[in-house]
């Protein structure tokens, strides 16, 4: 019944929009208030399976409640003919909306239900460079982080689902096809939303750039998402063992266009899709460079809610290498606080584990973004700079990484960047969850940070983490 009521709200708003179709409409994202933090703290104390169940229930109920209030306030302020609700976004507590003029947007910002409103913006990018590669036995990064030792103990990422939010995945690649997640409730290519989740033909995942059910990687030459997927779970079927967790499942969530860029709407909906379809780990090798306050306030609620759900996210730190001075060099959402609270840090945490890039000699890559970062916006001001928030959190192999290539079903490609480092950590998280399926993001992150080889200055530093 609750779903029917929500659908009725959206349908009513669509009718209003149809009557005003002659006007020029702007798409954007509205975020509502964050809700009761005491409830969030209680949910985060639950064991992982219960935590996910109750977190999703709470977040969806919260979003439905605020959406009702938002629609009521539209009517009270004479805005019902000027605003359309396109889709609710319960992750982050918001909605995709459209408005017909800037005066309507100005009025929306003053509604009591609204925390922030943004025009849809493009800007996050793939964080890597590339070159051709020959087949090898085992990619060096896989060996460097000790994956073969985990395999010897029977840990290969089995029963763990990793969502690759990227340019898509060549799901027909010989090294990936047997590890692709598929939607049991969807019949592929029949043009019908069989499972009623709002997405047609989402069998291997979904393409949030082109709004269709085919998340095939279409980024020419580089095929960024396919490369990242191979680092997580490539099987080596074509000659090179590229995957850290070669029995993990891969969900393809396309949030980047062929140009290598993406927009805020695609990222928000992509993260929500991964969460709704029970991804255990997020691999996110995209980021907004030199993020301003608007970007930060967009990214952090999404990362906060992923943590509430118990889903860690391995996020590329960025490839600026000092292009921007501290505290602006780390990309967003890698700049969000990590799950584990180190001594001296604030209690507000998120799912984002920021990953820097190292070479075969454990030296930090010259292009790897460095910290610290800062949080000193009108909404988040828990880490003003100086001293800011120490980032990245860890570093992983990210120079001359050999992995699957999306230009054929058996090719490989060599790429560099924190884009390659992040899926190494996502694969490591999958191995750890194979060992302990009840491990929380906080525990997983603490193990990563406290057991990693300490490079650079003693303790956590602004280059290696």
Specify the pairing of strand 205-207 against strand 249-254.
Answer: parallel
Tokens standing for 298?
Answer: 């967009």
What does the alpha-carbon distance between residue 303 and residue 30 come to, in Å, rounded to a whole number? 16
Q: Name 261's bridge partners.
A: 125
Q: Look up residue 173 and give its two tokens.
A: 């690649």
Task: Give the mean model confidence (pLDDT) for residues 327-332.
Answer: 97
What tokens does 200 get?
């047609």
Q: Which of 3-12, 49-58, 228-237, 248-257 has the lowest mean pLDDT?
A: 3-12
pLDDT band at 105 (very low <50, low <70, confident <90, very high): confident
Top-confidence residue, 22 or 184: 184
Beta carbons of 252 and 179 less than 8 angstroms apart: no
Q: Considering only CA atoms, which of 318, 421, 316, 425 is closest in space to residue 367?
A: 318
Domain ranges of the chain: 2-120, 124-451
Average pLDDT score over residue span 10-20:
32
Q: Strand, helix or coil at 96?
A: strand
Q: What is the pLDDT of residues 123-162, one digit of tens each?
A: 776 766 555 545 556 899 999 999 999 999 999 999 999 9
Report the alpha-carbon distance of residue 225 to residue 212 in Å, rounded.
17
Write down the pLDDT at residue 233: 98
Specify the pLDDT at position 18.
32
Average pLDDT, integer, range 45-74: 97
For 358-413, write each residue's pLDDT tens digit: 999 999 999 999 999 999 999 999 999 999 999 999 999 999 999 999 999 999 99
Percent of the chain at pLDDT exceeding 90: 88
- Predicted confidence band at 227 (pLDDT cuts at 50, 70, 90)? very high
Sign of CA dihedral 293, 92, 395, 345: positive
pLDDT in tens, 187-218: 999 999 999 999 999 999 999 999 999 999 99
The whole-angstrom separation of Cα 41 and Cα 46 is: 9
Please give the residue that has the higher pLDDT: either 65 or 137: 65
- Which residue, 83, 106, 90, is CA-closest to 27? 83
Q: What does the pLDDT read at residue 4?
A: 32
C-alpha–C-alpha distance, residues 260 and 421, integer Å: 18
pLDDT for res 3:
34
Residue 221 has a pLDDT of 85
C-beta separation of 74 from 84 below 8 A: no
The pLDDT of residue 104: 87
Residue 250's contacts (CB-CB under 8 Å, 6 or more residues apart) are 161, 162, 164, 169, 171, 176, 179, 180, 181, 229, 232, 233
Q: Give residue 101's pLDDT band: very low, low, confident or very high (50, 70, 90).
A: confident
Per-residue pLDDT band for 5 (boundaries 50, 70, 90) equals: very low
- pLDDT confidence of residue 10: 31
For residue 90, the 8-state DSSP code is T
139: closest CA among 407, 415, 406, 364?
415
Nearest to 374 by CA among 337, 407, 348, 401: 337
Percent of the chain with pLDDT over 70: 92
Q: How confident is the model at residue 222 (pLDDT cuts 50, 70, 90)?
A: confident
- Alpha-carbon distances, residue 213 vs 171, 207, 217 (angstroms): 13, 6, 12
Whether the CB-CB separation of 415 and 131 falls below 8 Å is answered with yes
Give phi and psi for 152, each to the nearest 5: -60, -25
pLDDT for 136: 54
pLDDT at 14 over 70: no
Angle at 363 between CA 357 and CA 364, to 5 degrees: 35
Say if residue 9's pLDDT is above 60.
no
Question: DSSP assignment of 313-330, as one string?
Answer: EEEE--S-TTSS-TTS-S
∠ CA(154), CA(160), CA(164), 5° rounding?
Answer: 125
| Beta strands across the sheet bearing 122-126 | 261-263, 122-126, 286-287
Residue 130's pLDDT is what?
56
Q: What is the CATH number of domain 124-451?
A: 3.40.50.200
DSSP output for 199-259: -TT-SSEEETTTTBS------TTT-HHHHHHHHHH---TTS-B--SSTT-EEEEEE-S-TT
According to DSSP, residue 368 is labeled S
Considering only residues 22 and 389, tell me which one the structure prediction assigns the higher pLDDT: 389
pTM of the model: 0.93
Specify the pLDDT at position 22. 43
């Amino acid at each position: 019944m609750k779903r029917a009521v929500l659908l009725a709200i959206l349908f009513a708003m669509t009718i209003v929009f149809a009557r005003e179709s002659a006007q020029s409409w702007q798409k954007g994202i509205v975020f509502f208030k964050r809700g009761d933090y005491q409830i969030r703290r209680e949910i985060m104390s639950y064991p992982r399976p219960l935590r996910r169940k109750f977190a999703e229930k709470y977040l969806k109920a919260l979003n439905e409640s605020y959406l009702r209030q938002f629609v009521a306030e539209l009517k009270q302020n004479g805005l019902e003919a000027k605003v359309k609700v396109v889709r609710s976004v319960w992750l982050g507590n918001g909605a995709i909306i459209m408005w017909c003029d800037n005066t309507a947007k100005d009025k929306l910002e003053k509604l009591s239900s609204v925390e922030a409103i943004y025009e849809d913006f493009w800007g996050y990018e793939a964080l890597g460079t590339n070159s051709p590669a020959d087949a090898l036995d085992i990619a060096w990064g896989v060996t460097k982080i000790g994956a073969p030792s985990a395999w010897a103990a029977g840990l290969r990422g089995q029963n763990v689902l990793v969502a690759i939010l990227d340019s898509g995945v060549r799901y027909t690649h010989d090294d990936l096809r047997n590890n692709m997640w598929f939607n049991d409730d969807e019949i592929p290519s029949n043009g019908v939303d069989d499972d009623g989740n709002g997405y047609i033909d989402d069998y291997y995942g979904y393409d949030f750039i082109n709004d269709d059910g085919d998340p095939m990687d279409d980024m020419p030459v580089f095929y960024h998402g396919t490369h990242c997927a191979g680092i997580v779970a490539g099987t080596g079927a074509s000659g090179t063992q590229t995957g850290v967790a070669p029995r993990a499942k891969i969900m393809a969530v396309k949030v980047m266009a062929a140009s290598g860029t993406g927009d805020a709407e695609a990222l928000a909906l992509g993260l929500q899709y991964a969460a709704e379809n029970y991804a255990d780990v997020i691999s996110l090798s995209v980021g907004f460079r030199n993020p301003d306050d608007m970007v930060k306030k967009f990214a952090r609620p999404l990362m906060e809610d992923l943590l509430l759900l118990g889903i860690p996210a391995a996020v590329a730190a960025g490839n600026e290498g000092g292009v921007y001075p501290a505290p602006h060099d780390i990309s967003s959402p890698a700049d969000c606080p990590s799950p584990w609270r180190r001594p001296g840090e604030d209690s507000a945490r998120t799912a984002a584990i920021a990953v820097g890039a190292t070479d075969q000699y454990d030296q930090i890559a010259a292009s790897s973004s460095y910290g610290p970062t800062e949080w000193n916006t009108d909404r988040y001001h828990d880490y003003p700079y100086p001293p800011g928030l120490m980032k990245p959190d860890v570093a992983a192999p990210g120079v001359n990484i050999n992995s699957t290539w999306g230009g054929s079903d058996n090719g490989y490609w060599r790429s560099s960047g924190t884009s390659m480092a992040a899926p190494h950590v996502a694969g490591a998280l999958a191995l750890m969850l194979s060992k302990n399926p009840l491990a929380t993001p906080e525990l997983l992150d603490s193990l990563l940070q406290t057991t990693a080889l300490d490079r650079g200055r003693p303790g956590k530093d602004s280059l290696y983490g």
